[in-house]
């Protein structure tokens, strides 16, 4: 098969989803690899490093889409790419389908086979770890007086106390944030709805961080004394209330900071997405850092980790075909988003009120012994396609 690596074009995005190491493995399996010029340069991988491992360079995205059976990149498919999608072509990238109905419609109209990468990770996405660790530093930077923050140093100075941080969510992102803050000596409180998760966090950090159940009462009570809040919660897209209201933001001291790593609309009432070019704004006296692709700022480290995590999926699809790859890996199967004109993503069905069909049914593998994976989200849909 022909594997194609696109250059990401989102503003402030420097990552790549395949480094020369992945090209070496894919070429070694007997496949052809085509790389758009400049695809890896932002992450420190020049074109020549791909050629050395057996890749062929193409100048444009149009050539990649026209040539390759499997096309991949890091971020969402942009509108001017929609006409380039082809029937039966395989696409693997971060689609975030539930939040992007136009993108989903383009995938359906093209009759391509699309996987959304963010749902394909068995051990959590390296992007989540990167967003948490780098996001922790961005929050501390935002606290600096030069950015409108209150000017506190992370672990304090002689006679001056350190930073009090609140981490909302104890998953991969939240633990990554906590690891950096804890190492630097901040006073950290982690909130989650799962007491088992909180126990694990306590053990992980030698009971040197505070843990609390996450609810409106506890958040509201704690916010006035918190210097920086990190939102690491995957907020339900159909939620009708805010986790942090404008009034709660107003209760924080002037110059405090909110870092919304999750970037889910509806979690924080004062949220709007920002970019690396203009990352901060001040609302209700609080500095907000709401960049959607924080991992792009540490492009080389993230690219190496992210590419390595996805290589098994690339190789399985290329070597075994889509159906067999989905039999062997439940996490890949649950990430199947569209298949030849059919929606196969449950959360998207529920949020966008579109009929869907289970991946195992459309692929004809329901009677096989399948590798199992938990649902990607708790969102359910009974709006099945009638066949």
Query: Catalytic positions, please?
Result: 96, 264
According to DSSP, the residues that pair with 5 across neighbouring strands are 35, 72
- The pair of three-digit structure tokens given for residue 274, joined into one six-digit string: 């920002």
CA distance readout (Å), 165 to 71, 161, 185: 41, 12, 11
How many angstroms separate the CA atoms of 166 and 188, rounded? 6
Residue 78 — left, alpha, or beta (φ > 0 → left; ψ -120 to 50 → alpha)?
A: beta
Q: Could you give the 3-state DSSP secondary structure of residue 72?
A: strand
Query: Helix H segments across the chain?
Result: 20-28, 47-52, 61-67, 101-110, 126-142, 172-184, 195-204, 216-222, 246-250, 299-320, 322-328, 330-335, 346-352, 359-362
What is the dihedral sign for C-alpha 32, 325, 295, 285?
Answer: positive
The residue with tokens 């490093």 is 49
How many angstroms separate the CA atoms of 372 and 329, rounded? 7
Q: Could you give the 3-state DSSP secondary structure of residue 154?
A: coil
Beta-carbon contacts of 339 under 8 Å, excluding residues fewer than 6 positions away, are 113, 114, 322, 359, 362, 363
Angle value at C-alpha 164, between 162 and 165, nearest 5 degrees: 130
How many angstroms separate the CA atoms of 205 and 179, rounded? 8
Element housing 12 (H / E): none
């Amino acid at each position: 098969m022909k594997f194609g690596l696109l250059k990401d074009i989102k503003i402030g995005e420097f990552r790549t989803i395949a480094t020369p190491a992945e090209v070496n493995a894919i070429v070694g399996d007997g496949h052809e690899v085509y790389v758009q010029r400049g695809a890896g340069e932002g992450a420190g991988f020049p074109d020549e490093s791909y050629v050395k491992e057996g890749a062929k360079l193409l100048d444009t995205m149009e050539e990649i889409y026209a040539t390759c059976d499997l096309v991949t990149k890091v971020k969402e498919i942009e509108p001017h790419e929609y006409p380039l999608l082809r029937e039966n072509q395989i696409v693997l990238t971060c689609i975030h389908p539930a939040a992007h109905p136009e993108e989903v419609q383009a995938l359906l109209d093209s009759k391509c086979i699309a996987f959304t990468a963010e749902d394909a990770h068995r051990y959590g996405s390296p992007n989540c770890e990167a967003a948490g660790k780098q996001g922790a530093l961005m929050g501390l930077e935002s606290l600096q007086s030069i950015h409108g923050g209150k000017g506190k140093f992370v672990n304090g100075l002689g006679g001056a106390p350190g930073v009090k941080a609140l981490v909302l969510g104890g998953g991969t992102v939240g633990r990554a944030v906590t690891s950096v803050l804890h190492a630097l000596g901040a006073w950290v409180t982690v909130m989650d709805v799962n007491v088992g998760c909180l126990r694990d966090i306590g053990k992980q950090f030698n009971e040197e961080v505070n843990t609390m159940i996450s609810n409106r009462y506890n958040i509201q009570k704690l916010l006035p004394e918190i210097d920086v809040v990190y939102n690491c919660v995957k907020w339900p897209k159909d939620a009708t209330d805010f986790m942090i209201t404008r009034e709660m933001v107003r209760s924080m001291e002037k110059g405090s900071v909110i870092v919304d790593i999750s970037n889910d609309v509806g979690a924080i009432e004062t949220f709007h997405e920002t970019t690396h070019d203009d990352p901060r704004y001040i609302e209700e006296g609080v500095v907000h850092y709401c960049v959607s692709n924080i991992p792009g700022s540490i492009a080389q480290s993230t690219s190496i980790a992210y590419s390595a995590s996805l290589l098994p999926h690339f190789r399985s699809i290329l070597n075994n075909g889509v159906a067999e790859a989905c039999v062997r890996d439940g996490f890949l199967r649950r990430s199947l988003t569209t298949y030849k004109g059919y929606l196969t993503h449950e959360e998207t069905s529920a949020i966008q009120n579109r009929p869907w069909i289970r991946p195992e049914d459309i692929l004809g593998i329901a009677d096989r012994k399948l590798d199992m994976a938990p649902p990607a989200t708790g969102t359910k849909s009974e709006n099945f396609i009638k066949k």
